[in-house]
């Protein structure tokens, strides 16, 4: 609809014409033709894979938020989304549109860095691994290393702590739970660190994607207690690995006190990624 002004000048549109006023003059232009882009089925399927990857990346960020703590680089969300989408597409046994993260080549996500401003690989060169144990359970291991030349300490730091987290994600039921955590303290004056292993086997859920990550937190001397020195520019966090647990065959009873802390399913908020993927 065009509107006439006091001086007889029009502004707006009538039919296929658009009226606008520039420097007091009325300009009449034809409306641009509407662009219609018709997506092919392969294009739609590819978009579905990316949408699934974006949804799964959002879930990984949610599950690992206790380690990342909002101290990631500005491009992390986009980098993780692209990396997860690539894993979804890596499954060539299923057609596009029917794929999911847990069906892809999960090793492609190993060592993903959540803060490129302080890469874990540069701050701590120790080898960390995630391994599934028969008949059930998982092991996170740290290979032995000499602290000098392997761990980089910033100014004022008197030590650091490696914090590992193991979590399970059930995409089909849109929920997750934490399976356990552990830590390794490395004082500045320590010379070497022996091989360290943490085994998680208590009441693990079945048929889930298990994800392990590690954060590196520096501390310095404080008046009453150590001071955390990590910032947005200094917070190394990386993925150790992802494994699909299948059916966990053996369950070990967990003490009631610990059971109240771990193994409680949490719903995944937001859009259910299962509604995106084709069946």
Query: With 70 as the cut, is the pLDDT of residue 11 above it?
Result: no
Question: What pLDDT does 116 receive?
Answer: 98
Average pLDDT over residues 265-274: 85
In angstroms, rounded to a whole number, what is the distance separating the alpha carbons of residues 201 and 135?
A: 10
Mean pLDDT computed over every residue of the chain: 85
In angstroms, rounded to a whole number, what is the distance separating the alpha carbons of residues 145 and 195?
A: 8
Report whether the peptide linkage leading into residue 135 is cis, meaning its omega lies within 30 degrees of zero: yes
126 contacts 236 by C-beta, under 8 angstroms: no
151 contacts 142 by C-beta, under 8 angstroms: no
pLDDT in tens, 213-248: 999 999 999 989 999 999 999 999 999 999 988 644
Query: With 50 as the cut, is the pLDDT of residue 254 above it?
Result: no
Question: What pLDDT does 47 receive?
Answer: 87
- Bridge partner list, 269: none
pLDDT in tens, 142-194: 999 999 999 999 999 999 999 999 999 999 999 999 999 999 999 999 999 99
Question: What pLDDT does 262 receive?
Answer: 55
Q: Lowest-confidence range among 27-31, 96-100, 128-132, 137-141?
A: 27-31
In the chain the first and final C-alpha atoms are separated, in Å, by 46
């Amino acid at each position: 609809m065009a509107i006439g002004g006091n001086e007889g000048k029009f502004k707006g549109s009538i039919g296929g014409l658009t009226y606008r006023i520039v420097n007091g003059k009325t300009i009449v232009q034809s409306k641009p033709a509407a662009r219609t882009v018709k997506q092919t089925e392969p294009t739609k399927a590819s978009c579905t894979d990316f949408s699934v990857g974006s949804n799964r990346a959002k879930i990984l960020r949610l599950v690992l938020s206790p380690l990342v703590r909002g101290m990631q680089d500005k491009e992390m969300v986009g980098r993780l989304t692209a990396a997860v989408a690539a894993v979804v597409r890596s499954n060539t046994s299923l057609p596009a549109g029917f794929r999911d993260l847990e069906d892809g080549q999960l090793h492609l996500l190993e060592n993903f860095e959540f803060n490129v401003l302080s890469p874990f690989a540069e701050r701590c060169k120790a080898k960390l691994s995630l391994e599934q144990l028969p008949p059930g359970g998982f092991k996170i291991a740290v290979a032995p290393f000499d602290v000098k030349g392997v761990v980089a300490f910033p100014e004022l730091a008197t030590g650091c702590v490696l914090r590992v987290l193991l979590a399970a994600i059930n995409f089909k039921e849109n929920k997750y739970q934490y399976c356990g955590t552990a830590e390794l303290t490395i004082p500045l004056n320590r010379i070497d660190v022996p091989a360290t292993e943490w085994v998680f086997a208590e009441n693990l859920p079945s048929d889930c994607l298990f994800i392990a990550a590690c954060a590196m937190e520096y501390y310095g001397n404080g008046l009453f207690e150590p001071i955390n020195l990590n910032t947005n520019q200094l917070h190394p966090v990386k993925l150790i690995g992802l494994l699909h647990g299948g059916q966990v065959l053996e369950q070990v009873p967990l003490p009631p006190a610990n059971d109240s802390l771990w193994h409680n399913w949490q719903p995944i908020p937001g859009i259910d990624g299962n509604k995106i993927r084709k069946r």
